[in-house]
Each structure stands twice: as structure tokens, then as C-alpha cells.
Amino acid sequence: MATIKVPEISSMATIKVPEISSMATIKVPATVPSPAEDCDQLRKAFQGWGTNERLIISILAHRTAAQRRAIRATYAETYGEELLKSLEDEISGDFERAVLLWTLDPADRDAQLANEALRGWNPSNRVLIEIACTRNSGELFDVRRAYHLRYKRSLEEDVAKHTTGDFRKLLVPLVSSYRYEGIVVSGKLVKSEAKMLHEKITEKAYNHEELIRIFTTRSKAQLIATINHYKNEYGKPINKDLKSDPKNEFLAALRAIIRCTFCPERYLEKVIRLAIKGLGTDENSLTRIITTRAEVDLKAIETAYYKRNSVSLKQAIKGDTSGDYKAMLTALLGHDDA
């Protein structure tokens, strides 16, 4: 019979606690107070006449996801109330949203963001793509697990419920897939699938089953190799060819998948740029990117932002926001001089 090989399955027995990324912007003090001490300070911030918002920021914006989780657990145990509930009672507006989103576990935060995006879904909403394609496979699965806990149904069920037509054909597999994370790339597939993509795009068969399959199931390394080959072989970047009709939201969704896969920090830079640009700020998008990336790759996004706009992200945010909200975002950027 065929050989049965034993892979290192023992890695399934543990969940890695993510260490802080070198691309993270948050600053964690060298000596972190115990969760009990942090809770005590937070409680003080809530008490008395008025809330001490800056004290809240000085604690929560300087703790990792694991530390915030410990604070939430200790707080609930000590005061018999959820920390998020207390925060909700004490603060408001954009500042509240930023603090609450930040305080959540990343997977649970993404589950909430995905659900919000779905409840108000329209074809120009690309939050689901952002979540599905800028998180790694394990993180996306954690989001699906958190979604079960929070909403008592699956993410893919809700995607199918709230989306229609080609978007549904694209987004259901996109959130369901568990892409291989390794760097092994099949050169044969690169060629055959670049050819297939080129054919379908030339025929304007953008919703073709094969195109959707390639976009939604291939590993990031494989997909990147395929779109590189596409450019070499057919002379134009795939995203140029996917821009035949700039008003077509489905094409925009396909381009977003490619951009999130190929260069997430540049994609996310653009989301921030558009959120800040012009009159009025899209606080929802700004808050989402800062809170979801501050512990991941916000430094790289800052670099991309400076390159593209010749102004630092910190300056741009300071110019466009105010008060405690401004202080919270700049703290997450690693600055405390708001």
C-alpha cells in the first residue's frame, strides 16, 4: 500500500500566542502593570465627576491583545461587569468606537466588523475582502469561530444572506477558504492559471467559476506568482485588465482581492487616504484600519502613506481628528503627544 507519512501534527495541540510584530506601532512599557493594577486604574478613570479619558488611553492603547484580554478577564471578575460595558457607559462617539474596537480580541473584532459590513452591505463595501485577504488563514478561521460565538450562525451563512449575484459567488468562497500558507508554488499551475485568467478576462467573463476559484482558493504565494507571470506573459498587470469598466463594482472587488494579497499595506494606505481625503473624515474606516493594524503592520502602512502623500500619517490624522479620538489614534500610532 501507499506509504503513510506522519507530518508534524503535534503543532495542532497548541495555539501560538502572537508576539508583537516588528511592524506594530503600539508602544508597550518595558514593565507592564499587572492586570489587577490596570483594572484598578481604569476603575479610577471611570469614577468621580467626569471620565478620565486620557488615563483610559494611557493604559489600553499600550497593551497587546493578550494583555487586554487579561485585563478584560480580571475586570469582569473583580467588578462583576464587562469592561466593554463600563467603557460604553463612560465614553462616546468616535472615541468610544475606537476604544471598544481596540479593546476587543482581534478575531472577535473582525467578526463584529464583518457583521456590520454585512448588515449594511452594498456592492461598494470592501470590508469583507479586507478581512478575508489581509488576515492569514489561521486568523481568518479564528474570525469564523468568533462569528459563531457572537452571532450563533456562520459567517458564510450571513454572507450568502446579505449578498447577491456575482458578489455572492465570490464572497462566500472567499470567507470560507483556508488557503495554504506555505511558500511552495507550482510553476505548472502558475502558467496554466495565468493563461486561464487572461482568457476569462479577455472574454470579460469576470464571474467565471475558474476565475473565482483561483482568486478564492489559491495560496497567497501561488496567486502572487500567477499574477506576476500574467504581467510578464501578457504585458499588462492583471489589475489594469480588470479596470476595463472603472464603474463596475465587481471588477473593483476583484482588484481589491489582488491588492490585499499582493501588497496589503498599500491597499490599507489607500483606505486611510480616502478616509482622510476631502471635506469630512470617514471615521469608521479610519478607526477600523488603525485599530486592526496597530499591532500588525501599521508601521509599513505609515511608510506607504508617507511615500504616497509626502506627509506623515500622524500629521494627517492630527489634522483631521480632534480631542480624545485624536489622542487615541495617535497613541495607537505610538505617540503620546496628541
> Which residues of the chain form contacts with a copy of itself (CB under 8 A)?
1-15, 69, 72-73, 82, 84, 88, 96-97, 100-101, 104-105, 107-108, 112, 116, 141-142, 144-146, 148-150, 152-157, 160, 169, 172-173, 176-182, 184, 209, 213, 217-219
- Report the nearest approach of a copy of itself to the CB of residue 301 (Å): 24
**Gyration radius of the chain over CA positions:** 22
Nearer to a copy of itself, 97 or 293 (CB): 97
* 128 or 316: CB nearest a copy of itself: 128
Q: 307 vs 261, 302, 315, CA distance in Å?
A: 20, 9, 14
Q: Judged by CB, which is closer to a copy of itself: 164, or 244?
A: 164
Smallest separation, CB 304 to a copy of itself (Å)? 29
Nearer to a copy of itself, 154 or 248 (CB): 154
Q: Which grid cell is 197?
A: 485568467
Closest separation in Å from C-beta 261 to a copy of itself: 15
Quote the least distance from Cβ 315 to a copy of itself, whole Å: 27
Q: Which is nearer to a copy of itself, 14 or 22 (CB)?
A: 14
Q: Which residue has the cell 504565494?
A: 221
Cell of 2: 501507499
**Dihedral angle computed from the Cα positions of residues 280, 283, 286 and 291, in that order, rounded to the nearest 10 degrees:** 160
CA distances from 22 to 170, 182, 297 (A): 33, 21, 8
Write down the least CB distance from residue 243 to a copy of itself, Å. Answer: 27
For a copy of itself, the closer of residues 138 and 237 by Cβ is: 138
Helix pair 93-103, 53-60: axis angle to 10 deg: 30
Q: What angle do CA 241, 174, 136 make, to 5 degrees?
A: 100
Compute the distance between CA of residue 247 and CA of residue 273 in angstroms, rounded to an integer: 20
Smallest separation (angstroms) from a copy of itself to the CB of 224: 15
How far apart (Å, rounded) are the C-alpha atoms in residues 42 and 201? 55
Q: Name which of 300 and 332 has its Cβ closer to a copy of itself.
A: 332
| Smallest separation (angstroms) from a copy of itself to the CB of 152 | 5
- DSSP for 60-78 reads HTTS-HHHHHHHHHHHHHH
CB of 136 to a copy of itself, least distance (A): 12
Q: How far apart are CA 146 and CA 228, in angstroms?
A: 35
The conformation of residue 23, written as its DSSP 8-state character, comes to: T
Q: Identify which of residues 63 and 97 has a Cβ nearer to a copy of itself in the complex.
A: 97
Q: Give me 47's grid cell.
A: 469614577
